[in-house]
Structure 1
């Protein structure tokens, strides 16, 4: 570690001052500075261990997916009849998913139109009631 740095994980006047200032301003900042002073020299090894752990997790995911050959359930098993049946079922499920997505889009557009019509009806009723109370037209809005 560079020992000439002003703020380093050691009991220097600068780190002590920052710790005290952190406790005065907001106590978690002071606590964080204290943790840095005490455990800061272990940060490099902690970071390396964390990166190695994450790399191991992703390496296991890559091996589960066959290193770029696609998901494991899409790979050939060697049984031609089973592979044909599986491909047919997967294509059927994809078609069902596509139909469900289309139906959801149709329903969403129906609900949007229903809300728009309800909002328009409420606005028209408000304008009629306002006009009937004798307040007249609202400037900038045409009479309906």
Structure 2
């Protein structure tokens, strides 16, 4: 009897995902070392790794290659309820400050756009006055 497995770590695709996760845990240096070794031993492999790193944005990211988002890591409980409450309050406050700052930037952009539009309309009115009097 054959059983069908839905485990994502099963088969060739699972092998690739496990290898990718293993490399991500070790950071960008591991990816670069693998690429260099690929070029040394079999240049198409090194080239394939280079293209994959560029395509997956691993090459130019400023952070390490981990796929875990910082928000997911911040939402973990530490077991210390006082610290978890402080962390939750701080994160809430920072998110509020971020949304306020983004709203401020939007108002700033709108004011700049309005000033540029008003300047355009003033120049247009002056130009139309100059052509009407001529």
TM-score (norm 1): 0.48
Gap change, CA 1:104 and 1:60, over 3 Å in 2:
closer
Give the length in aligned residue pairs: 87
The secondary structure found in structure 1 opposite 2:77 is coil
Rounded to whole Å, the distance in 2 between the matches of 1:82 and 1:127 is 67
Stretches of structure 1 that go unaligned for 5 or more consecutive residues are 1-38, 134-144
Using the TM superposition, give the Cα deviation of residue 74 of structure 1 relative to its aligned residue in structure 2, in angstroms: 2.2
Rounded to whole Å, the distance in 2 between the matches of 1:75 and 1:91 is 15
Which residue of 1 is the match for residue 44 of structure 2?
A: 44
Rounded to whole Å, the distance in 2 between the matches of 1:79 and 1:123 is 65
Stretches of structure 2 that go unaligned for 5 or more consecutive residues are 1-38, 59-63
Which residue of 2 is the match for residue 82 of structure 1?
A: 83
Gap change, CA 1:84 and 1:108, over 3 Å in 2:
same
Using the TM superposition, give the Cα deviation of residue 60 of structure 1 relative to its aligned residue in structure 2, in angstroms: 6.0
Which residue of 2 is the match for residue 113 of structure 1?
A: 114
Rounded to whole Å, the distance in 2 between the matches of 1:88 and 1:132 is 66
Q: Which structure carries more relative contact order (alpha carbon 8 Å, separation 6+)?
A: 2
Q: CA RMSD in A?
A: 3.5
4+ residue segments displaced more than 3 Å: 41-45
TM-score (norm 2): 0.51
